[in-house]
């Protein structure tokens, strides 16, 4: 109505020609649709095509087809007369086929960007479990296919797909089944796509189903304001609607405020709409309602009756009327030119044939509407739509409003096409805030997604992160390892800095071991002092006094060399600690070996004509010590030259600490040094064990046997313990073995002698030694 009146007032468009229009009902079945088309072609009388020539001569175009089904149904009749049909419903690629539908023109832009726009909304609010509802037609099937492909690309899953069959308006079982399916679904977000007729299918359901907690996402062609009955009043509160962007048409609001059936009594459609919207009757004595007020205005109506702003569908109708008007204008200009060129001979050549000729002008029409928007009506030049995102809000006083909360501009640069004002959105009544729509619960930090076989990717279990890994975000597909200098906390949701681990002097264990080492070294020095002070006594001279001095000196250094193992590892102590330990222990053990051999030689020398006499009292035992030590020094030198120990960092053995250690360089050299000491100890033990039954006078082989038994026991138990420990405890085990084995040698060999020297000096005489045993 507004477009036709505006065109008729325009002196530059169709001058001296007045446009008119008729409004006919469109039904949702082929028979009634064909009947309406015939009524339009033949008039209100008998529907006999071709018998109402006056009617046909004034019928030039049909603006209709809110759905593709209606367009196809009408097209079977209209195509016979080559009457153009301009549709204002959703764009349908099927209707764009010039061979199947040569007389159909679509005003709506392509909605190919609508799936992307809706998925951008889902991704923004992290809705990954979404139900889909659509009408049962090919266009909706294409939309669902495109939407599902876009959802898959963005890891959004389909909870369910339901189709509404428009023709089943009276099937109560279908309605109940459909609504129960929606109620039972775990999806909190539902996309519904189609047209207003799809929603009106639900009008006849008498079973109230409350779906208040759902967030509905739809397009403006599925007119959510046309709610079917009071039982659904709040169900769509908070819904988000994608509406084609339109420009404000000047004068439209003023037209709606001033329109009144009293000014146009012949407009039956407006009168019926008025009576229905205001619940009144325009004539006294007719109908049950009150008489309509002459001051009634459309701007007082609820949104469910009329939107005071021009909706996307109304904007398309408005543009369609203007497209027809401009096509007629161009056609009449061409006709005038033809008549002037033929001197009026072809006058009336186009009479009664407006519709067929109109096609050639409609195909190429371009114009600017009153909003200064460029409109192109061409079968292959449909633009891609941009969208306003509208929020549908209802109020307790049965009023409602659409509020713009965002937009989607398909031509915008990537990342800038979607804009949403989250704070302005009114959510469904039970929400109050944007809630998630998920198949599975959120995998909190410390857990990762574990896929369930046979289920969508959105349906999964949450599994704890493996040992040594974390996830610091929700819904992580995989956990990640911490940097080498960090370790996971107990919850495995973030990394903590690793502490530095080494056997330090400041800690209790380090202090205790260092104190023990120093004490035993001092004790050994005291024993050496005692032996030096009493060097001329029989008990000191009895078994090679020089070897005893060497042994005590080496044991004192053995205790002290354990200090190299305590403290922060550096290049110097890493080089010295194993080699010093190896050399000092070699001196000690080789001294014991020499002492044992000396005892054996001494007893053999007592035999007549024994060749062992020449070795008793010689420097041979000391030479043995130097020879054995030289071999160990050579081994250590080779070790230091080829693959010396060095400071190293171990970040893997202890998950919570960085172990500062000395890397031994060559393990073969390390175990060769230990093996050589073990070989000497085994030799000493063997010789002492074989000489244990010699006469006790001047015989200390029993003490040596026992001391070597202690020594070997300590180091045999050291190997498995050393291999099974890490970090500072590994070092502590070696220090303890050094101290305990050294203390065993000191205690077993020298403490009994010191006891006699210091506490029982009467036994430390030649006379007593000849008549009694030392032990």
Give the 3-state secondary structure of 140-182: HHHHHHHHHHHHHHCCCEEEEEEEECCCCCCCHHHHHHHHHHH
- In the chain, what are the domains? 2-108+250-260+297-377 (3.40.50.2300), 114-245+386-424 (3.40.50.2300), 447-497 (no CATH), 508-770 (1.20.1070.10)
Task: Tokens for 185, please give them.
Answer: 């679904």
CB 217 within 8 A of CB 190: yes
**pLDDT at res. 614:** 54
Count of C-beta atoms within a 10 Å radius of residue 392: 21
The Cα 242–Cα 113 span in angstroms is 11
CB neighbour burial string for 80-104, b if at least 16 within 10 angstroms, e if fewer: eeebbbbbbbbbbeebbeeeebebb
Structure confidence at residue 519 (pLDDT): 93
| pLDDT value of residue 235 | 75
Say how far apart CA 513 and CA 503 lie, in whole Å.
Answer: 10
SS3 (DSSP) at 737: helix
Q: How far is CA 230 from CA 183, 193, 224, in A?
A: 18, 22, 13
All residues at 6 or more sequence positions from 324 whose CB lies less than 8 Å from its CB, including other chains: 60, 61, 63, 84, 86, 358, 362
- The reported pLDDT for the residue numbered 345 is 52
**Considering just the CA atoms, what is the radius of gyration of the chain in Å?**
52
Report how far residue 423's alpha carbon sits from residue 248's, in angstroms, rounded to the nearest whole number: 25
- Residue 436, CA distances (Å) to 115, 130, 382 in order: 20, 10, 36
Distance (Å, rounded) from C-alpha 736 to C-alpha 742?
10
Give the pair of three-digit tokens for residue 267. Answer: 């407009």
Instruction: Provide CB contacts within 8 A for 645, sequence distance 6+.
Output: 574, 575, 577, 578, 662, 663, 664, 665
Could you tell me the maximum CA-CA distance found in the chain, to the nearest angstrom? 169
- The DSSP result for 190-240, as a single string, is EEEES-HHHHHGGGG--S----TTPEEEEETTS-TTS--SGGGTTTTTT-E
- pLDDT, residue 607, reads 53
Say what the pLDDT of residue 349 is: 42
Helix, strand or coil, per DSSP, at residue 647: strand
Residues in contact with 225: Cβ distance below 8 Å, sequence separation at least 6, in sequence order:
303, 304, 307, 392, 400, 402
Rounded (10°) CA dihedral 717, 721, 727, 728: -40
pLDDT of residue 209: 54
Q: At what angle do helices 545-561 and 571-605 cross, to 10 degrees?
A: 160
Give the start-end residues of each E strand in 395-479.
Answer: 400-408, 418-420, 447-451, 460-464, 469-470
The two three-digit tokens of residue 60, written as one number: 């030039």
Nearest residue to 72 (alpha-carbon basis) of 42, 37, 40:
37
- The predicted pLDDT at position 683 comes to 86
pLDDT per residue as tens digits for the range 189-225: 999 887 666 666 554 454 455 565 789 998 887 766 5
Between CA 613 and CA 367 the distance in angstroms is 134
Closest CA to 318 of 252, 404, 225: 252
Q: Which residues contact 316 (CB under 8 A, 6 or more apart)?
A: 88, 107, 108, 244
> Which pLDDT tens digit goes with each residue over 73-127?
888 888 888 889 998 887 888 888 888 888 899 888 777 889 999 999 999 998 9
Ranges of residues in the chain with a pLDDT under 70 are 28-29, 44-45, 47, 49-57, 166-177, 195-212, 223-234, 282-289, 304-305, 307-308, 342-353, 378-383, 398, 543, 600-618, 691-701, 768-775
pLDDT at 382: 53
What whole-number distance in Å separates Cα of residue 555 and Cα of residue 742? 6
> How does DSSP assign 508-562, residue by residue?
HHHHHHHHHHHHHHHHHHHHHHHHHHTTTSHHHHTT-HHHHHHHHHHHHHHHHHG
* Residue matched to tokens 């989607």: 408
Helix axes 728-759, 545-561, angle to 10 degrees: 150
What are the E-state strand segments in 656-703?
A: 657-663
Q: Give the H or E element holding residue 595.
A: helix 571-605
Give exposure, 724-739, as e/b (b: 16+ Cβ within 10 Å).
Answer: eeebbbbbbbbbbbbb
pLDDT value at position 351?
Answer: 47
Q: What single DSSP character describes residue 774?
A: -
Sequence-distant (6+) residues with CB within 8 A of 644 are 575, 665
pLDDT at 234: 66
Strand pairing class (499-501; 657-663): parallel
What order do you get walking across the sheet with 104-106 strand by strand?
62-63, 85-87, 104-106
CA distance 423 to 56: 56
* Cα–Cα distance, 60 to 465 (Å, whole number): 72
């Amino acid at each position: 109505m507004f477009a036709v009146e505006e065109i008729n007032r325009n002196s530059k468009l169709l001058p001296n020609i007045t446009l008119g229009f008729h409004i006919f009902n469109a039904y949702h079945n082929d028979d009634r649709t064909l009947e309406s088309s015939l009524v339009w072609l033949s008039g209100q009388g008998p529907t006999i095509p071709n018998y109402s020539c006056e009617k046909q001569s004034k019928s030039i175009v049909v603006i209709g087809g809110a759905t593709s089904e209606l367009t196809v149904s009408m097209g079977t009749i209209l195509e016979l007369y080559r009457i153009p049909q301009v549709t204002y419903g959703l764009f349908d690629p099927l209707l764009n086929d010039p061979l199947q539908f040569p007389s159909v023109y679509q005003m709506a832009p392509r909605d190919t960007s609508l799936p992307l726009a809706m998925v951008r909304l889902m991704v923004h609010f992290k809705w990954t479990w979404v139900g889909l509802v659509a009408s049962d037609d090919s266009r909706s099937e294409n939309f669902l296919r495109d939407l599902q492909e876009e959802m898959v690309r963005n890891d959004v899953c389909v909870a369910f797909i339901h189709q509404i069959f428009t023709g089943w308006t009276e099937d109560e079982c279908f309605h109940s089944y459909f609504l129960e399916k929606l109620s039972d679904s775990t999806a909190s977000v539902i996309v519904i796509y189609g047209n207003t007729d799809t929603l009106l299918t639900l009008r006849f359901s008498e079973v109230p189903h409350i779906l208040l907690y759902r967030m509905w996402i739809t397009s403006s062609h599925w007119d959510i304001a046309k709610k079917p009955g009071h039982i659904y009043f709040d169900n769509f509160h908070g819904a988000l609607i994608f509406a084609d962007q339109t420009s404000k048409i000047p004068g439209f609001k003023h037209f709606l405020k001033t329109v009144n059936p009293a000014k146009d009594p012949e407009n039956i459609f407006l009168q019926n709409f008025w009576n229905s919207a205001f619940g009144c009757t325009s004539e006294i004595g007719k109908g049950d309602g009150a008489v309509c007020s002459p001051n009634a205005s459309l701007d007082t109506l609820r949104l469910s009756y009329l939107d005071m702003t021009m909706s996307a569908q109304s904007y398309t109708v408005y543009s369609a009327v203007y497209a027809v008007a401009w096509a007629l204008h161009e056609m009449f200009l061409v006709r005038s030119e033809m008549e002037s060129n033929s001197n009026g001979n072809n006058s009336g050549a186009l009479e009664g044939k407006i519709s067929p000729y109109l096609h050639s002008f409609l195909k190429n029409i371009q114009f600017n509407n009153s909003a200064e928007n460029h409109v192109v009506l061409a079968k292959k030049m449909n633009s891609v739509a941009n969208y306003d995102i509208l929020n549908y809000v209802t109020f307790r006083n049965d009023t409602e409003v659409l509020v713009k909360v965002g937009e989607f501009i398909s031509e915008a640069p990537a990342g800038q096409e979607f804009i949403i004002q989250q704070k302005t959105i009114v959510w469904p009544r039970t929400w109050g805030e944007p809630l998630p729509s998920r198949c599975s619960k959120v995998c909190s930090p410390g857990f990762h997604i574990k896929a369930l076989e046979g289920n969508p990717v959105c349906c999964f279990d949450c599994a704890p992160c493996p040992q040594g890994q974390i996830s610091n975000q929700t819904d992580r597909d995989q956990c990640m390892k911490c940097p080498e200098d960090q370790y996971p906390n107990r919850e495995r949701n973030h990394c903590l800095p690793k502490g530095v681990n080494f056997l330090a002097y400041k800690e209790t264990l380090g202090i205790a071991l260092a104190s023990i080492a120093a004490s035993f070294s001092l004790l050994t020095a005291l024993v050496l002092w005692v032996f030096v002070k009493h060097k001329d006594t029989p008990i000191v001279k009895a078994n090679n006094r020089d070897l005893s001095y060497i042994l005590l000196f080496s044991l004192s250094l053995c205790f002290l060399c354990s200090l190299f193992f305590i403290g922060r590892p550096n290049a110097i102590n890493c080089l010295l600690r194993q080699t010093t330990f190896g050399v000092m222990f070699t001196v000690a053990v080789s001294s014991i070996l020499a002492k044992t051999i000396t005892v054996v030689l001494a007893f053999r020398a007592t035999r007549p004509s024994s060749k062992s006499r020449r070795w008793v009292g010689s420097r041979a035992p000391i030479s043995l010590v130097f020879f054995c030590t030289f071999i160990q020094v050579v081994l250590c030198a080779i070790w230091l030259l080829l693959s010396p120990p060095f400071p190293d960092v171990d970040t893997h053995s202890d998950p919570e600490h960085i172990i500062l250690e000395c890397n031994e360089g060559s393990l073969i050299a390390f175990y060769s040094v230990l093996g050589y000491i073990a070989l000497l100890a085994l030799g000493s033990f063997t010789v002492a064990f074989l000489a244990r039954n010699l006469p006790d006078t001047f015989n200390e082989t029993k003490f040596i046997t026992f001391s070597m038994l202690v020594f070997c026991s300590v180091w045999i138990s050291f190997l498995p313990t050393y291999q099974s420990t890490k970090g500072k405890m590994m070092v502590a085990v070696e220090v303890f073995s050094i101290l305990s084995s050294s203390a065993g040698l000191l205690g077993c060999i020298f403490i009994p002698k010191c006891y006699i020297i210091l506490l029982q000096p009467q036994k430390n005489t030649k006379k007593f030694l000849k008549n009694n045993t030392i032990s």
